[in-house]
Amino acid sequence: MGGIMDGTEDHDWGPFDRPLFEDPSARALSRVGVLDVGSNSVRLVVFDGAARSPAYFFNEKILCGLGAGLSETGRLNPEGRVRALAAIRRFKLLAEGMHLPPISAVATAAVRDAEDGPEFRAEVERETGIRLYVIDGAEEARLSAQGVLLGWPGASGLICDIGGSSMELAEISGGTVGKRISSGLGPLKLAAVKGGKKGMKAHIKAVMADLAAEMGTRPERLFLVGGSWRAIAKLDMLRREYPLWVLHEYRMSPKELRKTLDWIADTDLDAVRQQTSTSAARMALVPVAALVLKRLIQTFKPREIAVSAYGIREGLLYEQMPDRLRARDPLIEACRFAEQKDARLPGFGKGLYEFLLPLYRGAKPDRLRIVKAACLLHDVTWRAHPDYRHEVTFEAATRANLGGMTHEERVFLGVALLHRYKSNREDCHFKDIFAILPEAELNKAEVLGKAMRFGAMFAVDKPQDKATLHWRPKKCELHLTIRRDAADLLGEVARARFESLAQALNAAPVVAVRG
């Protein structure tokens, strides 16, 4: 990766200009800028926050179309080149204004394939001081896969990253990247295939067969990375009237996605473009990308398809994370960071989790991590108006840019936090989103919310040291045993909230004082 050069560098880290994580125990990430010069877009992303689950402090892209016409001319698109250079000059000034360390800059298919690619790189460095590192297709596939691993710890399946001029595939299994391959199945490059739509389909089919022979078929899950895939996922949401417009971890079955791809072929995309907040330049690539995706599904036969909002830019971060940092849970790290930054009593979430843990004896790890996340986040929206706090916290949980969480888990977390501040959800305007969860899961989320509501009221520090909860499901009894010197903490409001929790469990509340 390149950087804003000042002539003082003693080392050349190649595509990794300098180590981002010099301290293996780093918990926080200083702002890091990544410049991605692709065949269709030029984007600057500035990451901030918890290193294992970085937030997007700044994110801007310009659809320059550098690779448009490359197959015919062998050169970068002249207008795209002017626009890309203008965007990079702007990004350099923004980076300086944000006092960033040297930004990391990579270029992919268009710059590496164009005969004037080296000339463009030299121009960028001459005018901005930013050194663009061109990565090959296999490296692009690997970094995209690393980005998926940042959002999905331990993920397994097949990554498919589509850009303007290329499409990459990579295997991931057990948190590591395996075989990877690059192809020319990008929409901008496919536009030059002769023979019209019929010729394009035949070309896509032939290339896809070669890719399958190399990579194998029938992955458990296909992870889609790239702007064209995200645009198609938004159209799938629109067609299905899906209520939660969060792309990361959005899942589709092959059958339902095929319906959407057929619908795309018969739909005036300009008429629906604004409903999905998709630019005209991006939507123009969708029909060709849809042909690629349809053949991809037919050829590789995945059991499930999931959208990843993380790709090469996030992969650049993950690449440099020490193993100790990679091993951390991105959801929990992000929640810890939020608690430290926004909660009234940072650190209380851990005690609250320990206090409530007896309610979850025998629970699976996937459920326990959501309970922990909820406890860490239970108070981060306290500055919101009390009448709207439940809505703010629900929206913050369900729409947050978080990795390591399915849509069902997002809704569960959101409903639990809603009930942290509100006893019922009858008059909430989120009912369409509630429908993502079965009624039984909604009730379990309500129990968690009411448990947090009680725990946070009972004590302001270390509730686990002052009382013990004991849930007896066979007897339908919820026991609260309080230390004698803490007995006065169970005031009228705290008792009412304990009884509300017991009611949510269909249990009788039992209080005892000991010691």
**Residue-wise pLDDT tens digits, 166-186:** 999 999 998 899 999 999 999
Amino acid identity at 176: T
Q: Quick one: 443 and 396 in the same domain?
A: yes
Does 412 lie in the same domain as 366?
Answer: yes
Angle at 509 between CA 507 and CA 514, to 5 degrees: 140
Q: Find the mean pLDDT for residues 201-218.
A: 98
Q: Which of 105, 135, 165 corresponds to the end of one domain?
A: 135
Give the tens place of pLDDT for each residue, 256-277. 999 999 999 999 999 999 999 9
pLDDT value, residue 27: 46
pLDDT digits (tens, 9 = 90+) for 414-460: 999 999 999 888 888 888 999 999 999 999 999 999 999 999 999 99
As a whole-number percent, the residues of the chain with pLDDT over 70 amount to 94
The answer to whether 445 and 437 have CB atoms below 8 angstroms apart is yes
Residue type at 108 in one-letter notation: T
14: pLDDT strictly greater than 60 = no
Q: Within a domain: residue 224? A: yes
DSSP 130: B
Residue 131 DSSP symbol: P
168: domain CATH number?
Answer: 3.30.420.150
Mean pLDDT of 328-346: 92
On whether both 449 and 464 belong to a single domain, the answer is yes
- Residues 383 and 249 both lie in one domain: no
**Helical (H) or strand (E) element with 65:** none
Give, in order, the Cα–Cα distances in Å from 228 to each of 85, 162, 278.
23, 7, 10
- Verify that 299 and 341 share a domain, yes or no: no
What is the tally of structural domains in the chain?
3
Residue 16, domain member (yes or no): no
% residues pLDDT > 90 (the chain): 83
Last residue of a domain, one of 102, 135, 168: 135
DSSP-derived letter for residue 125 is: H
The verdict on 243 and 174 lying in the same domain is yes
> How far is the C-alpha of 463 from the C-alpha of 460, rounded, in Å?
7
Give pLDDT, residue 26: 52
Is a pLDDT exceeding 60 seen at residue 68? yes
State the greatest distance between any 2 C-alpha atoms of the chain, in Å, as a whole number. 86
d(CA 142, CA 174): 15
Q: Are 290 and 184 part of one and the same domain?
A: yes
**Rg of the chain's alpha carbons, rounded to an integer?**
26
pLDDT at 18 over 80: no
Q: What CATH number did the domain enclosing 435 receive?
A: 1.10.3210.10
> 66 is in which domain, residue-wise?
28-135
Same domain, 268 and 393: no
Residue 322 has pLDDT above 50, yes or no: yes
For residue range 384-410, what is the model confidence (pLDDT) as tens digits?
999 999 999 999 999 988 888 999 999
Do 130 and 147 lie in a common domain?
no
Among candidate residues 94, 109, 135, the one where a domain is terminated: 135
User: Are residue 358 and residue 500 in the same domain, yes or no?
Assistant: yes
DSSP 177: E
Mean pLDDT, the chain, integer: 92
* Average pLDDT score over residue span 55-64: 94
494 domain-assigned: yes
Domain-located, residue 2? no
Q: Give domain status of residue 89, yes or no.
A: yes
The one-letter code for the residue type at 376 is L
232 in any annotated domain: yes
Per-residue pLDDT band for 4 (boundaries 50, 70, 90) equals very low
Q: What pLDDT band is residue 115 in, cutting at 50, 70 and 90?
A: very high
- pLDDT mean over 116-137: 96
Quick one: 45 and 153 in the same domain? no
Q: What is the dihedral of CA 322, 328, 329, 331, to 10 degrees?
A: -70
Residue 351 sits in the same domain as residue 486: yes
- CA dist 165 and 193 (Å) reads 12
Whether 12 maps to a domain, the answer reads: no
Q: What is the CATH number of the domain that holds 50?
A: 3.30.420.40
